[in-house]
Each structure stands twice: as structure tokens, then as C-alpha cells.
Structure 1
């Protein structure tokens, strides 16, 4: 019987890791605390997007200035726009918000009680709060974006300035500030970008504390080697290797970063697949060429680079290197691209691809598995789990949804014996519903052996001979009995007491669990038996 894992080592750790990419920071000389607002980013990439439902990566961290120990970590549904420590009370005011892409500017005024960690959302109605400033112990100056940009082409450059007074800000309750207190004429209002100066400030604070700030984020893939080394792919790094000593051996940098790692059939190298997103260059949008490289595990040397012409996902299983194009805009049925040592072969037709429906990365796969639709014009409809044979033919095994009337999105998977264990979510017109996320074990003939339901989508899963380990975007980590799906244990993932979320998982050959987190760290967890 397994018990809750213990984090015995953290690779890639550093100060301020919990807040991700920093947006702004303020120092309070009176309390000697530092408040930092940042963003861990989304938990989706162009190859898979199911795990992003109900997720927010926006964080507010409060740290001791001298030792840089975290004191509080708060999730926010909106980006952090402004921070201000109260002049007397142990209280932090936080302005958050963003434009919703339609017509509204939404956000919150958060009051974080630094003695208890309690958080109050003080506005009665959602408003983007561009600036917060304490004018006195009782007066808080707010600059709020307009409610919307309906018939107002200047809304994105304007703000409404209001001063709200309270005798005791520590006693303010939820939704206590109404619209009438915020009424003010619109004026020009700038929205400066503080990210560069914030990065310099965090680096200086870390240096003064004898530490180093690196700004690592999102470990998308992690793999353990027989010799104890750990491989990882993360933002800004196509692939990296950590020695058993805990030192980083090598790293191959990339403008976006690696999203997939698949060990090559030679046993001495690894395939790494990079993300490629469109970026604005002047008046135009540009996308860098795809990057899929085979890297020597011993030295980190790039041995070869494939040029598929379009961005693609790596398909695991078998001796060949197999790619599935992600060119979702094409009207032509897509084919797998199959690479041997000395040739490229067109594989079977698999239909078009989208990140919500067709992501199906199968760990420990004995052969390649893909999700394919039954309608060429609507490939997300009627999806089947299919396997690619040694001769390159495609064989449909069973429907992806075992409930005919339900449409299910793809997710991570693992092969166990003559069955697949996979996670996903059930589509609903109003978004993910309670109990709408699942893990299921199905025999290769389609028989459902068990299913486990929850409210949050899985980010990753792996298994050993008797346990399935599932990470959720809520920060939970759950172990299920591989035989019957019952819960062996359930825990909320933490590093040094601070909550975090797993983005990737791998059971290492030594029997411990490797966890790649959204905040750029790699956890080595012992599984006591």
C-alpha cells in the first residue's frame, strides 16, 4: 500500500518561484516585506489545451525582504495591476483586471490581511483597478478603467479616479464598496509596463540575500533516466539535464521552450519538440520555423533537426519517430509523418488536429496511439482511439467516448498491459461542469474497467505496475489503484509549504515520482511503501 509522497529534493528552485513571470513589485520598509504580482501562464500549448479549464496563473506573493521566505500566496482571476501596503495596518491593497476581449473591463480590488492571510474582494461589481495608492490611514485612491468600451474609442487610455475612505480598512467586508463611491469623470490614464524594472528588483533582492533569481516557468515534460539523471523541457529551454548530484548538466535554450520529450530508439538521445506561437513584428504577425531536435543525453549536443514544414506533435510508441501535423487551418486530411533512420514515409490519414480534441500523449506506449474523427469536415466529431501498426496502417480500436451522447476532449494517457488509462473532460455548452473531468481505464477492446470523476481537469498522469498517478490543475495529486480505480491517497502539492501545481509527471526507473511544476521546478518525490 502506498502513502502520500514526500518531496525529498527540488531541482531548479529559487526565490520568488511561486509567482511566475513578475509584473510588478513593491517593498514596505516598515514591515520589511516585499509584495510581487506575477503570472505562471496558461497550462495549455498548441498541442493540447484541455487542462486550462478553471485555471488561473495570476499570483500575488508576499515575502520577507531579508530571507525572501514566502509568507502569503494568493491566486487572482485577473492580472495584477497595482500593489500598495497600508501605512499602518498589516494590509496589502491589490488592483487587478483586464479587458475581456468583448467590451468590458473586469477586475477586483483585493485586500490581503498580512496577519491572517485572509483575502477580501472589496468591490460590489467587477471593475478593472489600474492603480491603488494609500493617501492616508483612512483614504485609498483608486484609478479604475471604464466599465466598457461601448461607443467609447478612447476607453483603453482612460481611467476614473476615486478616493474611498474607511475608518478601519481592516474591517472592510466582501463587496462593501458600491458603484456610487467610484463615480468620477473619465480622464487620460497611462498603463505603464513595470515588468523590466521588476525583474531587476527581484534579481537585486536575491543577490543581496545570497541567492540567484532565474525566472524559471512551466516544466512541460520530465523524464527520469536509468542512471539517475533527470531530463526536462520548460519555457525558454528546449531540453535540460540534471545530474544525480542535483547540478544542472546542460541546457539547450529556445525562444519559446520545449513542450515534449520522447526518448529516441537508440537509448542515448532524446527528441525535444518546441512550441511556436505567432508574435507581432511591427504591423505583421510572424511565426518562427518549427523546431524538433534530437539531443545527445550525455552532452546536450543537438544531433539532428527535423523540418516537417508545419508545427507537429510527437507521437510516442514504436521504433519510428512519428509526427502529427497541427496545421488545423488546412482543409486537406492530414497524414502522420513517419521518420526512419534514412527516410521519411507518409503515414496514414488521421484528419485535422485541434488542441482541445486530439491531444492524446500516451506514456509507456507499446505502439503509437492517436485520436481520429469519423467526419473529415468535422474531425472533432465521433472520435475513436486508433493504433498505428508496424506496417503503418491505422486501426480503430474503440470510441473515445464510451457514452455515445457525450463529446469528450482529449488528455494525457498511459498504457497498462492490454488497456489504456486516460484523462479528459466532457464538453458542456456552459463550460466544465462539476464531475465533468474523468480518468478511465479501458481494455483495448473498449470495455470500461473503471472510471474516476472529479471537478478539475488533469494536467498529467503516469503509472507503475499497480498505481495510476494523476495531477490536476487545482494543485491536487491523486493516486488511484490501477486495478479498480479506488483512491489510494490524495494530497495538495506543496513546495516548502507553498501550494503549486504539477504540469508533468513521470515515474522514474528508481521508483520515485518526478513532478514538473508550473513554477519551473522539478520535484523528486519518494513513494513510501
Structure 2
């Protein structure tokens, strides 16, 4: 039986960490509670889209006003706009929603029971709720967006001002508020931008936490434990940072977008950091996106030692002797740029090797502690099909880079299934090396129970052990 999990330390801990970037805050001094709506963000970047099945980024958290301890966390299907405590009942009303980009305003009116944590969606059908406020014991005032922007003038700047009445707001059935109850006065309603809502939320949480400033820590994309006990990581807004064994932050390199992958080089003196560059900035007369890059940082103090500018985003692959490969993730899946090979010394790319197209859901294959540069390669015309695990040798038999097929990604060659890849690690002895990797089986209905796996395979023939 596996041993029990022991948490040694929590790095980067701070109040309200569970909700991500705040979008709405409500405080009840009488109850001694704080409710916060927020956005954790998405689990996808240009080099990996395999961890998104079933993920909902929007959260509502309930916290103690005194100690800021988290009592409840619930998910929301849409962004959280507004929150309101019932004057006497243990209920919080939550308004959520968003424009679908082409026609409808979708969302929910949620009721959260503060004693049980039960969450109930009470509107029959989807409807964006822009504002919510209590009006006595039995009335709730809401401003809802129109159903769509086709039949309503100035739909994005107006809403229906509605009062909904129920005898007991702690006992309202799911879907019991009909759409015809959401007819009211057509009023002008200014919707705050995401930036304005976030700014107000951050300011409120800083006051509640008693801090001069409070900033959310978002997705931590990659983590490495170092031999000296330090922990290295990269995340949104941070190119890389290092934590000492006692849990103190040793150094941090801020970045507008942040690192996505870390490759610690042999000797643990420095590391490569794969950096995203998607945000646009207005330069002169046009919007400009900075080119992506891979940066080398010192593990002693975080000093940037150099960068490799790239033509398109890339995913990193490494092997234990220090060789690095940058595989393009941009462009057409059938005609991606050749991968770049960088030697252990870390200079400019020394060679290029064609690997075919890269597909976000099919080709991410980060393997740690490997003696080979391992990647996935598919069919030339349809690279997401017939994927094989291949090894790239920077110096093949003729001195030029060579690609060697090892075995199919799917060890069950008799089946007709389609596998998605995942991360892995090379393990074993000098005489026998194995590959342990994760993945999932594709199904049109989504990730079904039992369709995710971890498998240990021989690196000689791919046989499942």
C-alpha cells in the first residue's frame, strides 16, 4: 500500500490563494465572513493542452473575517460578477455570467448555503446576472442581461432591473426561477471591465489581509527540486524563483507573462526557462507581440545569463548530459519549423532536425532524467495520428542529427484507440532502462472514468511492464 502523504511546507502561501484573481468581494461583519469570487485561469499554454478536460476556472471562496481561514470553495461555470449576503439566513447570492461572443448572455444566479456548502443554481435556463442585492427577508433585487443582443437595443449597456420574491431563500429549488420572472424595467447598467473588477478586488483583499498590497499567485507551471534542498519554479508573472529549504523565498525574477517550462542543466548551476509571449502592446500605430524566447538564469541569484530568441513558441526537451531541443509549437500542424538543438555549453542552436507538425493535445511529452531526447512524432500528413516515441541523436552515424523510432505510443497495437500523451520520467538501472509516463485515452464524450493512465514500459521495445 502506498504511504501517507506528508506536507513538509507550503511555498508562496497567502490569504485567498484558492480563488486566483478576484472579481467580486462581499464582507459580513455580523457573521464574521468574507466571500470572494475569482478566476484561477486556464491550464493550457502553447506547449501543452492536455490538462483541460473538465476544468472550470471560476471559484467562490468563503473565509473567516478574523483569521481568513477558508471555510468553503465552490466552482462556477461562468465568471463571478456580484455577491450579496442574505440579511438573516445563512445564504449568499452569487451572480455570474458572460457574453458568448456572438449572440447570448449566459450565466446563473447561485445560492450558497454557508452552513452546508451546498450550491444551487436557481434560474431555469442560462441568464447572465450582473448585479444582486437583498431587499428584506423575502426579496432579492437582480439586474440581468437580456437573453441575447439580437432583439434588444444597446444590450451591452443595459439590463433588466428585477425583484424576485421567495418565502425562504434557504430553500429554493434548482431551476425554480422562471425566465418570465426576469422581466423588469430596462435600465442603463455600466459593466466594469475585467481590469477594473480585478483592481477593486485586489484592493479589497489587501485591506482584509492587512497588507499594503496583495497580489494573487496564479498558475505554477513547472517545479524542480534541487539537490541542495531548494525548490525552483516558474509561474504566471514570474520567469523563475527559488525557495530555500526552510521555506523562505531566495530570489525571484518577475516577468510580464512568466515562465512555462524549466530545464535544470547538468551541475545545477543554471536553468533554461521557456517564456510565453502572447500579450499585445501598442507600439506606434499598431499592436505588437514580442517574440518568444528561452532564457538561461543562474540558480545562485536568478541573474539572466542569456536568451535564445525564437521565431515561434517552442516546447523544451532535454537529456541528462545537457543537450536541449526546442520544438516549434506554432504554425500549421503539418508544417512546423524544424526543432533546434542546443549543446551542453548553451550557445546558439547548433543544428536543426525536422520532426513534423506539433499538435497541442497530442505531442507534449516532457520526460525527466532521460539519457535521450525523447519526443512524439506522428504521421507526416496527419501528425496527431500514429504517434511514435522517437529519440533524437544530435550526432548520428554520419555526424548529423538523426531521428530514431523506438516504439508506438500505444502499447496495445491490436486496439483501435487514440492516446493523448502526458509527462514522464526515465527510471531503472545501467543494464535496464524504463520509461514511466502518463496519458489518457481519447473519447468523444470527454475524459471517461478509467481513461487516464500511468504506464511503465521498456525503453528497448515499449512493452508494458
- Counting only pairs closer than 5 Å after superposition, residues 17-96 of structure 1 correspond to structure 2 as 17-96=17-96
Query: Which residue pairs with 1:416 in the alignment?
Result: 427
Give unpaired runs (5+ residues) of structure 1: 451-529
Query: Which residue pairs with 2:123 in the alignment?
Result: 123
| Matched position secondary structure for 1:199 | helix
CA distance in 2, matches of 1:15, 1:423: 33
> Residues 291 and 310 of structure 2 are in contact (CA less than 8 Å); yes or no, is this contact kept in structure 1?
no
Query: Which residue pairs with 2:224 in the alignment?
Result: 223
Render the CA deviation track for 1:409-450: whole Å, top value 9, x for unaligned. 222122223322222233333433343322223322454426
Over 3 Å counting, the alpha-carbon distance change for 1:151 and 1:368 in structure 2 is farther
CA distance in 1, matches of 2:384, 2:427: 26
> Residues 145 and 155 of structure 1 are in contact (CA less than 8 Å); yes or no, is this contact kept in structure 2?
yes
Query: Which residue pairs with 1:470 in the alignment?
Result: none
> Residues 440 and 448 of structure 1 are in contact (CA less than 8 Å); yes or no, is this contact kept in structure 2?
no
Over 3 Å counting, the alpha-carbon distance change for 1:448 and 1:82 in structure 2 is farther
Deviation at 1:56, TM superposition (A): 0.9
Q: Does 1:327 align with 2:336?
A: no
CA distance in 1, matches of 2:156, 2:440: 36
Q: Does 1:385 align with 2:381?
A: no
Deviation at 1:102, TM superposition (A): 4.5
Which residue among 433, 436, 448 is the counterpart of 1:433? Answer: 448
TM-score (normalizing by structure 1): 0.79
TM-score (normalizing by structure 2): 0.90
Q: Which has the higher strand share?
A: 1
Over 3 Å counting, the alpha-carbon distance change for 1:104 and 1:445 in structure 2 is farther
CA distance in 2, matches of 1:141, 1:260: 47
| Matched position secondary structure for 2:89 | coil
> Residues 328 and 336 of structure 2 are in contact (CA less than 8 Å); yes or no, is this contact kept in structure 1?
no
Q: Does 1:370 align with 2:375?
A: yes
Deviation at 1:371, TM superposition (A): 1.0
Q: Does 1:286 align with 2:295?
A: no
Over 3 Å counting, the alpha-carbon distance change for 1:362 and 1:95 in structure 2 is same
Render the CA deviation track for 1:233-262: whole Å, top value 9, x for unaligned. 111111101112221111111111111111
Deviation at 1:151, TM superposition (A): 5.6
CA distance in 2, matches of 1:395, 1:93: 59
Deviation at 1:307, TM superposition (A): 1.5
CA distance in 1, matches of 2:163, 2:279: 41
CA distance in 2, matches of 1:278, 1:50: 22
- Counting only pairs closer than 5 Å after superposition, residues 34-433 of structure 1 correspond to structure 2 as 34-150=34-150, 154-184=154-184, 186-193=186-193, 194-207=197-210, 213-279=214-280, 281=282, 285-317=287-319, 318-329=321-332, 332-340=335-343, 341=345, 342-375=347-380, 377-391=381-395, 392-403=401-412, 404-417=415-428, 418-433=433-448
Query: Which residue pairs with 2:398 in the alignment?
Result: none
CA distance in 2, matches of 1:181, 1:402: 57
> Residues 333 and 383 of structure 2 are in contact (CA less than 8 Å); yes or no, is this contact kept in structure 1?
no
Over 3 Å counting, the alpha-carbon distance change for 1:235 and 1:105 in structure 2 is same
Render the CA deviation track for 1:201-255: whole Å, top value 9, x for unaligned. 11111117xx973311111111111111111111111110111222111111111
> Residues 240 and 300 of structure 1 are in contact (CA less than 8 Å); yes or no, is this contact kept in structure 2?
yes
Deviation at 1:290, TM superposition (A): 1.4
Deviation at 1:198, TM superposition (A): 1.3
Render the CA deviation track for 1:270-292: whole Å, top value 9, x for unaligned. 11111222437499553222131
CA distance in 1, matches of 2:281, 2:147: 28
CA distance in 2, matches of 1:286, 1:55: 31
> Residues 217 and 236 of structure 2 are in contact (CA less than 8 Å); yes or no, is this contact kept in structure 1?
yes
Q: Say which is worse superposed, 211-220 or 366-375, in terms of deviation.
A: 211-220
> Residues 14 and 214 of structure 1 are in contact (CA less than 8 Å); yes or no, is this contact kept in structure 2?
no
> Residues 81 and 129 of structure 2 are in contact (CA less than 8 Å); yes or no, is this contact kept in structure 1?
yes
Aligned length: 447
> Residues 25 and 35 of structure 1 are in contact (CA less than 8 Å); yes or no, is this contact kept in structure 2?
yes
CA distance in 1, matches of 2:58, 2:273: 28
Over 3 Å counting, the alpha-carbon distance change for 1:149 and 1:34 in structure 2 is same
Greater length-normalized contact order (CA 8 Å, ≥ 6 residues apart): 1
Over 3 Å counting, the alpha-carbon distance change for 1:434 and 1:328 in structure 2 is farther
